[in-house]
Amino acid sequence: MARPHPDPNLDLHDPQAYGAGLAHNDAVTAARRSDRRNRVSKSRQEDRPPTVGRANSPGEEASDLATTESAAIVIESESEIAMNAGPNLVPGVAPDLQDSSEQGSKRQVRHALNPVETQSQGYGDARSRDPARHPPHPHSANGFDTRVIETEEAVHLKIIENLQVQLASANSNIETLKNEIRAKEEAGALLKRRNNAMQSSRDAQEELLGRQDEDQSIESTFEGLFHQVKNWTGKYCNTASSEMVVTGVHQENLARIQRVLPSLTDVGDLPDFLPVGALRRRRQFVRGYLGLVLAETLIRSLPGTSHPTGAGQDYWLPVKVCDGVRELESTLLGSGGAITLTAFHQWRTITMSLLAKVHPPSRWSQSQDTMNFIEDQVDLTLSIIRPLGSHPDDSEQRKKLMDNIFIPAIEFSQFLRRQRACWSVRFPNLAPTSAVPPSESVAHLFDRATMEDRDSLADDDLEDASSDQCLKSVEIVVTPVLFKSGNHDGIKYDVVSPVRKAEVSCAEIRIK
């Protein structure tokens, strides 16, 4: 510790006087130090909060002693500073101001001691310095409740455990879904390979058999052909002002005409069936007879369960080839079950596809034999319907009949023959019935399964007020039926179903 400056009035060359001055200064310093220690201790006792019912522990006493020593050191430092400035009062400064300065130093020491006291008592931050307002928790060593911390820690551990369980379950579900996805992908890949193989087989088969059309496409072609028949008839027979002359119609044509007019019993009765003024009825007969020629002559149909005999010819083939194919088909179909329908139609499809490549329409349409046959059929047809025509010179209509109807009908027949499904164009079978009144000699009942009466506006399922049963007798067959058996896969040839029904004109029969 540095000594205070000696009195400037002392004689520095007199050792005894100088030593006495130093001793005096030491005594003064010691007295001041003792006095300040006592004041600091007393001040601390005044500032400390009262302690009720508890004695200071040894640790607290040691803390107090350390605090007092720290304060004393601070005071001594201040005293030394003051002594270094001079042992006496500062000249020109009043004593009370010097006392105030001393009291201010005391407050500064107290302010410096506050953090030390707070730390020794464990009060925490500045907000908890007042023990009355913020008493320390009995289970807290540093201002925090250990029980709350332990409880929160247990809750968080439980949440973590639950999340880990959920994560494990989610990972398990993800693995399961991945396995299912792999299984689905493998199944999809297998199905795709099978489809590709099937498509490749079908493409190869179609390359051999030719284009295999859908049912809607074939039905549309059928309707288009008979729409041409209707248009041609409307222009050929556009009036019914004159009576029909049947001099060109012979009795040997009766059976063929009866397929269109089932109630006709004699050729001479045609004017009665097709009277003057009945333009619609005459046109229906012309359309029906043209349809009969197409179905029974130009379009080849194989025999089946509903039609035991075949119809038509493959006139797009040379005569010898056509006769040979017809004979071979009859032999195979009459084998008595030795050859299944599936095997037969497989052979038929391949054979006709190969022959169609050898004899396309561009070739057979140039064949003299084929074209001569078509011209003969046109002339025979006109000989029956010419009495109903409106033009004396029908050469133009003859050419249109050949180009727009007969040749397309042979093309349609060639197209149907190379389809895997078996298609046929037939006129409905009409048999006379006895369930008619005695006044009716012949009646042919309407078959709802294969026929369509477009002239009827009444609902056939309803009964009239007299509760009479209404039957329909077919008077004119206008168009043939389009039948189909089998499918693209070459099966179900034993099932025959009508794709397009026959259009007919009927008359009502009432039975009491």
Does residue 92 sit in helix, strand or coil? coil
Report d(CA 473, CA 230) in Å as an integer.
Answer: 23
Alpha-helix residue ranges (DSSP H) falling in 48-145: 58-85, 95-121
Query: Do residues 325 and 268 make contact, with C-beta atoms less than 8 angstroms apart?
Result: no
User: How many CA atoms does the CB half-sphere of 60 hold within 13 Å?
Assistant: 9
Amino acid code (one letter) for 248? G
Sketch the domain layout of the chain as residue ranges.
15-128, 142-209, 210-511
What DSSP designation does 240 have? -
- Amino acid type, 304: G
Instruction: Please name the residues in contact with 333: beta carbons below 8 A apart, sequence gap of 6 or more.
Output: 302, 303, 344
pTM here is 0.61
Question: What is the predicted pLDDT for the residue at 403?
Answer: 95
Cα R_g (the chain), whole angstroms? 63
Q: Chain-centre distance of CA 270, in angstroms? A: 63
pLDDT tens for the chain, 512 residues long, are 444 455 555 555 566 666 676 777 777 777 777 777 777 667 656 555 555 444 455 555 545 544 555 555 544 555 454 444 444 444 444 444 444 444 544 454 444 444 444 444 444 444 444 544 555 555 454 555 677 788 888 899 999 999 999 999 999 999 999 999 999 999 999 999 999 998 887 777 777 776 788 899 999 999 999 999 999 999 999 888 888 888 778 888 999 999 999 989 999 999 999 999 999 999 999 999 999 999 999 999 998 777 778 888 999 999 999 999 999 999 999 888 889 999 999 999 999 999 999 999 999 999 999 999 999 999 999 999 999 988 878 899 999 999 999 999 999 999 999 999 999 999 988 877 665 555 455 678 888 899 998 776 444 444 444 444 467 889 999 999 999 999 887 788 988 999 999 999 988 776 55
Burial class (CB within 10 angstroms; exposed 0-12, middle 13-18, buried 19+) of 293: buried
With beta carbons less than 8 A apart as the criterion, state whether 414 and 367 touch.
Answer: no
CB atoms within 10 A of CB 423: 24
**449 phi, psi to nearest 5 deg:** -70, -35
pLDDT of residue 390: 84
Q: What tokens appear for 219 in the block? A: 């039905």
